[in-house]
Structure 1
Amino acid sequence: MKYLVMVQGSQADYDAMGGKPSAHSPAWSEKDLQAMFAFMQEINDDLAESGELVDGQGLAEPRRTRLVSLGEDGRPVITDGPYGETKELLAGYWVLDCASLERVTEIAARVARCPQPEGAPEYPVVIRPIMDSGTDIC
């Protein structure tokens, strides 16, 4: 079965990774960033080797986000991010093809152990099954 495994973050987290601390997150050093990138690359390599990796990407910072909705007249309304009401956003994801929910949960637990500086916020790793054409919605 395929699963979407998601990691979350905020604009403040991206700023901290760029060396700008906030009340939300301490500044990341170059060593911190390299440890995170090496950790994620090892996970990606292991998932590719096992054949479970379908796709995985880190996403650009929230301030580069764009929302497109429809106005009352049916015309597109475009809003650039980040959004004040949004505390956490999708920071990266994997699409995995795993034999069981237990297996993808093991992988998510590994992702949750990603190194980061002390005091950085911790977010849950989110798992969502991907519906196929034969999956019930409810």
Structure 2
Amino acid sequence: MKYLVMVQGSQADYEAMAGQPSEGRPVWSEKELQAMFAFMGEITNDLAESGELVDAQGLTAPAQTRFVSADKEGRPVITDGPYGETKEVLAGYWLVDCESLERVTEIARRIVQCPGPEGLVEPPVVIRPVQDASGGEC
């Protein structure tokens, strides 16, 4: 079964990683950033080795986001980010093909152990089953 394992974040998290502190978001040192990237890379490599990895990507900061919606008349409305009303966004993901929800939960438990600066509050990791074209789970 395929699952999307999503790591949440915020614009403030990306700013903290770039050296700009904010309330509740400690600044990351270069050493802490390298440790985080190495940790995430190790998870990706382990999933590739086990044959469970379908895809994995980190995403850019919400400030680089574009939001496309429709107005009341159905015309496209395009807004560039970041969006103040959005507290958390998708920061990165793994698409995995695992035997069970229990297995993908083990992967998520590992992800939340990611190293970071002292005082960091880890955002949640969200697991969603992927639906196939017929409406069932993959």
Q: Same fold (TM over 0.5)?
A: yes
Assess if the C-alpha contact under 8 Å between 1:2 and 1:97 holds in 2.
yes
Q: 1:99-137: CA deviations, max 9, x gaps? A: 111100000000010001111222111000001134459
Q: What is the match of residue 87 of structure 2?
A: 87
Q: Distance in 2 between matches of 1:64 and 1:124?
A: 22
Q: What is the match of residue 37 of structure 1?
A: 37
Q: Distance in 1 between matches of 2:76 and 2:97?
A: 35
What is the 5 A alignment of 1:32-71?
32-71=32-71
One-letter amino acid of the counterpart of residue 114, structure 2: C
What is the RMSD computed on CA atoms of the aligned residues? Answer: 1.2
**TM-score (ref. length: structure 1):** 0.95
Assess if the C-alpha contact under 8 Å between 1:5 and 1:95 holds in 2.
yes
Q: 1:19-45: CA deviations, max 9, x gaps? A: 111113011000000000000010010
Identity %: 71
Q: What is the match of residue 11 of structure 1?
A: 11
**TM-score (ref. length: structure 2):** 0.95
Assess if the C-alpha contact under 8 Å between 1:12 and 1:24 holds in 2.
no
Aligned residues: 137
In structure 2, the residue corresponding to 1:82 is in which secondary structure?
A: coil
One-letter amino acid of the counterpart of residue 133, structure 1: A
